[in-house]
Structure 1
Amino acid sequence: MPIYQPALTRRNFLATGAAAGLLLPLGMARASTPRKGSEFRLAMAGGSSDNSLDPRAFTQQVQRVIGVAVCNQLVEILPDGSLIPELAESWDSSDAITWVLKIREGISFHNGKSLDAEDVVYSINLHRGTDTTSGAASLFNAIVEITATGPHEVTLRLESPNAEFMRTFSDYHAMIVPADFKDWENLTGTGGYILEEFQPGIRATLNRNPNYWKTDRAHVDRVVLTVVNDAAARLSGLQSGTADVINQVDRKVAGLLERNKSVELVRSPGAVHWTFICAFNAEPTSNNHIRQALKYGCDRQAMLDVVMKGLGSLGNDHPISPDNPYYNSALEQRSFDPDRARFHLKEAGLESLSIELYTSEAALPEAVSLSEVYQSKAGAAGINLNVIRRPPDGYWTDTWMKKPLAVSSWLNRPIDQTLSLIYGTDSAWNESYWSNSRFDTLLAEGKATLDFDKRKEIYGELQAILHDEGPSVIPVFADFLDAKSARVKGFEPSGVADLSGDRIIERVWIEE
């Protein structure tokens, strides 16, 4: 679930981390020469028994981490937010509509097949068309036509200009697999690791690809990934030495890790946003006055201070973080205001509101705590939140997009992807079922506008629409918190996602 961060520099990255004394500095990871060999043990939250390795069905981090270990993508986003070639060696467009991609030669899939343009066309077409089940369909349906115009050349044409379209191929659904591949239980790619075993919601094992084309990646011989959705159990595994790296460190214990010299906290600047979804197709949240009451009844500063321990920044009910160059700084920062919340309730014909709030650690480790803070403060605004805790296993299939008010979270993406995926009327992942014709029209204009200042103006108006009418209560943007054994090297913090932008498996090595 977030990648566009040109405002992120090494200087401000270090500055924000140093203030809390929790950051593993950039450069530390490359202080030693990569060492080949050893087994890497990864204990992760973000997996469940309904997980599939079909890239069209990727929703959780375990799927993503396995996906980019086994497969490559056309492009890669580095930890500093810059875009570099991966399987697409180069690309060119004169009008931002027609794009010509040169595909690397001399690369083989794990099954021995040589990579060619037809593999790329097949892999991208998995996410296109009216029949696709992909969560990224709204992104890739912008491609009107994609063809192999040579053995290692792909040409695609968009429905409208998009100067940043190549970043779309960094979306975590866009894994490159062999043409006509369908054996998703045995995912095959060109990546640094070959899948040995995958037990959904339990574990996965992978072995290093001896013929990997990236000579500076894929250092460890074997990877054992265990799904551990309980935060205390993950931390215990790291401290006892049975795990080398864990994700989603509980913020309440982050400071305690500094006292243990054998482990290190890795903090990455976050543009992951946490959201309370107000369904547009259900009562009572279809009423904008109810949604506004829920926004003013949310004490986001308390959430940042109490739950996040200051490791993040305030949200303003749209998904664009302050670090994004398109951020609309002119919008009033919404604050906790019980009187204004009660005003909107009265406008909706209510003196008070009682509503169920569904929450789960599947969305984020602090989901329950955030929901309880929301509950404790909203009462002053006449809002009675009945917090219902759902188990992580199955949350994304049995609760998400099925309840009027529920917790969700999204990773950082380029702005047009973020707005299209979450709020576009035709998006399969429009989690609130929100539909706004003015929003859709402006979004199409923004994608087609090549001038940055004009694009910023359009995207600024889109943020204002979401702020004033939108379906999301977005209280905070969160920093990513992982932790590692001191013997793990090469772990680079990333603003793309935690676990080094999901690419930790191919980046790290072990010093015995």
Structure 2
Amino acid sequence: MSVENGHYERTPKEGLTRDELLRRGFAGIIFVSGSGTLLAACGGEEKESEGGDGAGTAAKKGGLVQVSFSDASAKENLDPALTTLSNDSFYTGQIYEGLTVADTDWNIHPILAESWEPNEDASEWTFKLRQGVKWHDGTPFTSKDAAYSIGRLLTEDFGSPLFSRLEPSIDAAGIEAPDEATLVLKLKRPDSLIPLALSARHGMIVKDGTTDFAKTAVGTGPFKLKSFQPGRSWEVEKNPEYWESGLPYLDGIRGVVIGEQSTKVQSVVSGQSHLADPIDYSAASTVEGASGAELLEFKGATYLLVAMDQTKPPFDDERVVDAIKMAVDREKVLQAVYQGYGDVSGDVPVPPDDPYYPSDVSTEQDIEGAKALLAEAGHADGIDVELFTSASYGGMVDLAVAFAQVVEPAGIRVKIKQHSPDTYWDQVWLVKPMYVSYYTRRHPNEILSVTYASNAPWNEAKLKNPELDALLADGLKTTDEDEQREIYSQALALVADKHGTSIPAWTSKLWVKKNSLKGEELELSRGMIMKKASLA
């Protein structure tokens, strides 16, 4: 079997094409708003556009776009492998590129890799790399850069969230660069989703030997770093030697951090910014009524959750965790927090319309059942808990407020503690016993490997579950789509039942932009790709 330019060809002995196998897997989905390029769902070709107004008007070249972010941290750096927030995901996504990317139907397409081919059992992958690509310093991109970039992800102390996903599969000693245009990955186990895993932003390619990302960044992307002040601002400028002819259109992009949600919205509606990262859902009506701005809705793209650390009291008693999850009125949360932009969920980290979503999870509130569990756990008079939140990401504060209200009838008394966006992801996330967090949509194997597996770096519940780990390994071994669906549905039902994460609903991401901005590409892993963006 072979892959040429992202297309999988069926051989007579295969029951499934690789395209069918991988179409349900992704780490980054692209959706074009307004105008620009949308990777074709089936044909693998790009739908060409000049990036103008969507009516055949050619894109205007030049101009500087300003983007406002609230989801940022003073501890950010320029390493794509360590990104966690909207801000650093965005700017690294303009500077660096990966070997692959996925489209809206979860097919894998080439970027720095032009083609890839597995052996018979997917225990070895060979990537043919794009030639003629230059780093921002003028040196050529080669297979040594790709080998270095993947190899560094396999060290646990390095701290990339891709460690838990890649280390069980990729043998560091089996990463080979036999020539400048070829990368070979010899695996520890069969892994049918390697091209998918490498399409995540954390897998973007950096230059061989780079270790210092504090102030400098050398990528192959459409924009080069001009300035960087962590947690405050950054600016990138056009890469005149970009390998994709004629791109980018813009002269540059500037990012500014605005911690207050309403101020961020106004920076686009009536201020100097052209674009803002996801906003509070309650602010959607403000944008809809503005003459010069509009919402960018990316449906089913994200979920907010309440995380409970099951190594710390009172959440080390699973009865308390179950009672809290049971007490949630999910429909009320959907309407109060998300203004109806989404669907209720039974604590499952994939959307309800996903083919892997388990059919036997409940979304019903059960106040009496929650009271009974609390009494059994020694809390007959109810329980007091602290829930941390922040205005860092749209909807996080509103979710905390609504969550506290809907669980109160079960005797769960929630004290809300709002933390500064500047330090929330350093001092609260993965630190406090109970807090609000969020994630973007991923294939079930990818989200479970990164946030629920025993060695997952973002395992917010801190629960180690050998049964889940075994299911994830089994899912990678098979190339049968029905078997994969059964395995991952079991895994998703398991985390919904056992893990301390309450996911009341799946919802849209709501970015806001000026009408004059055209051709931007919404992308789950990186936030937005701007190489075909232009100003009217």
Aligned counterpart, 2:139: 113
What is the one-letter code of the residue matched to 1:223? I
TM alignment of 1:32-431, pairs within 5 A:
32-79=57-104, 81-94=106-119, 95-141=121-167, 142-144=169-171, 145-184=174-213, 185-215=215-245, 217-328=247-358, 330-351=359-380, 352-362=382-392, 364-431=393-460
Q: Deviations over 1:166-188 (max 9, x none)?
A: 11111111121110012312111
Distance in 1 (alpha carbons) for counterparts of 2:355 and 2:417: 37
CA contact (8 A) 1:47 1:227 kept: yes
Give 3-state SS (helix, strand or coil) of 1:306's partner: helix
CA shift, 1:61, in A, is 1.3
CA shift, 1:100, in A, is 0.1
User: Are positions 1:440 and 2:465 aligned together?
Assistant: no
Distance in 2 (alpha carbons) for counterparts of 1:136 and 1:361: 27
Q: Deviations over 1:183-242 (max 9, x none)?
A: 312111001011010001111111100010112542100211111121111121112241
Q: Deviations over 1:270-293 (max 9, x none)?
A: 231211111121111121111110
Distance in 1 (alpha carbons) for counterparts of 2:190 and 2:351: 25
| Identity value in percent | 28
Aligned counterpart, 1:483: 512
Give the count of matched residue pairs: 487
Distance in 2 (alpha carbons) for counterparts of 1:475 and 1:485: 31
CA contact (8 A) 2:307 2:436 kept: yes
Distance in 2 (alpha carbons) for counterparts of 1:395 and 1:29: 39
CA contact (8 A) 1:75 1:84 kept: yes
CA shift, 1:303, in A, is 1.1
CA shift, 1:432, in A, is 1.9
Q: Which moved more, 1:241-250 or 1:374-383?
A: 241-250
Q: Deviations over 1:67-111 (max 9, x none)?
A: 111111111223554321000111001321100001111111011
Distance in 2 (alpha carbons) for counterparts of 1:447 and 1:291: 30
Q: Deviations over 1:348-373 (max 9, x none)?
A: 222111111111123x3211111111
Q: Normalized per residue, which structure has more helix?
A: 1
Aligned counterpart, 1:15: none
Distance in 2 (alpha carbons) for counterparts of 1:366 and 1:308: 7
CA contact (8 A) 2:346 2:496 kept: yes
TM alignment of 1:489-504, pairs within 5 A:
489-494=518-523, 496=524, 502-504=527-529
User: Are positions 1:465 and 2:491 aligned together?
Assistant: no
In the superposition, relative to structure 1, how do residues 507 and 331 fare at CA in structure 2: closer, same or farther (>3 Å)?
A: farther
Distance in 1 (alpha carbons) for counterparts of 2:475 and 2:53: 38
Distance in 1 (alpha carbons) for counterparts of 2:495 and 2:217: 38
Aligned counterpart, 1:18: none
In the superposition, relative to structure 1, how do residues 200 and 277 fare at CA in structure 2: closer, same or farther (>3 Å)?
A: same
Distance in 2 (alpha carbons) for counterparts of 1:480 and 1:488: 18
CA contact (8 A) 1:55 1:67 kept: yes
Q: Which moved more, 1:69-78 or 1:105-114?
A: 69-78
In the superposition, relative to structure 1, how do residues 202 and 130 fare at CA in structure 2: closer, same or farther (>3 Å)?
A: closer
CA contact (8 A) 1:29 1:492 kept: no
Give 3-state SS (helix, strand or coil) of 1:186's partner: coil
CA shift, 1:317, in A, is 1.0
Q: Deviations over 1:106-143 (max 9, x none)?
A: 11101111000000011111211243221221122121
List gaps (5 residues or longer) in structure 2. Answer: 1-23, 32-48
CA contact (8 A) 1:113 1:178 kept: no
Distance in 2 (alpha carbons) for counterparts of 1:458 and 1:114: 43
What is the one-letter code of the residue matched to 1:157? K
Distance in 1 (alpha carbons) for counterparts of 2:514 and 2:483: 47
Q: Deviations over 1:222-274 (max 9, x none)?
A: 21111112111112111224111112122223123233221111111123121
Q: CA RMSD in A?
A: 2.1
Distance in 2 (alpha carbons) for counterparts of 1:165 and 1:322: 25
TM (norm. structure 2) is 0.87
CA contact (8 A) 1:56 1:126 kept: no
Q: Deviations over 1:461-483 (max 9, x none)?
A: 11221122122111111201111
CA shift, 1:504, in A, is 3.2
Distance in 2 (alpha carbons) for counterparts of 1:221 and 1:9: 23
Distance in 2 (alpha carbons) for counterparts of 1:392 and 1:73: 29
Give 3-state SS (helix, strand or coil) of 2:198's partner: helix
CA shift, 1:444, in A, is 1.0
In the superposition, relative to structure 1, how do residues 213 and 503 fare at CA in structure 2: closer, same or farther (>3 Å)?
A: farther
Distance in 2 (alpha carbons) for counterparts of 1:38 and 1:9: 24
TM alignment of 1:14-33, pairs within 5 A:
30-31=54-55, 32-33=57-58
Distance in 1 (alpha carbons) for counterparts of 2:484 and 2:329: 32
CA contact (8 A) 2:454 2:463 kept: yes
CA shift, 1:36, in A, is 1.4
Q: Deviations over 1:273-316 (max 9, x none)?
A: 21111112111112111111010111221110011100111121
Give 3-state SS (helix, strand or coil) of 1:41's partner: strand
CA contact (8 A) 1:191 1:209 kept: yes
Give 3-state SS (helix, strand or coil) of 1:180's partner: coil
CA shift, 1:505, in A, is 2.4
Aligned counterpart, 2:531: 506
CA contact (8 A) 2:300 2:509 kept: yes
Q: Which moved more, 1:135-144 or 1:304-313?
A: 135-144
Distance in 2 (alpha carbons) for counterparts of 1:343 and 1:471: 18
